[in-house]
Structure 1
Amino acid sequence: MRVSVDAGSCVASGQCVLLAPGTFDQNEDDGTVVLLAEEPPAAEADAVRQAELTCPAAAIRLAGA
């Protein structure tokens, strides 16, 4: 699975960080998403999928999921 984010679309809700903290973080200045791992570990795959579905701005994209 490959993950990409559109920080410009992010509304800084932080749901992705709560669900998959090994893959996502938040920018300290504006709270927008920061991608920590383009290819998250298999153990976090379900959480990353949930983060994509939960994101209110649809700023997370998965490929090969």
Structure 2
Amino acid sequence: MLKAFKYRLEPTTQQAELFAKTFGCVRKVYNLMLHDRIESYQKNQETGEKIKFPTPAQYKNE
């Protein structure tokens, strides 16, 4: 028999705002990394060079 527990989060206004900001930043970095990854893949198809994949640390200042 399997058991499961469900938890409901009810964040305060400040916590909800922090969640929204955090997820917004994560989405931005993900999209930047995806764009750079697509560019390096296309560049690799043309030149045959080794693909250099981006890391989140490269976008830290932004």
Q: TM-score range by the shorter chain?
A: under 0.3
Determine which structure has the larger helix proportion and give its number: 2
TM-score normalised by length of structure 2: 0.24
> TM-score, normalization: structure 1?
0.23
Structure of larger gyration radius: 2
User: Which structure has the highest strand share of the two?
Assistant: 1
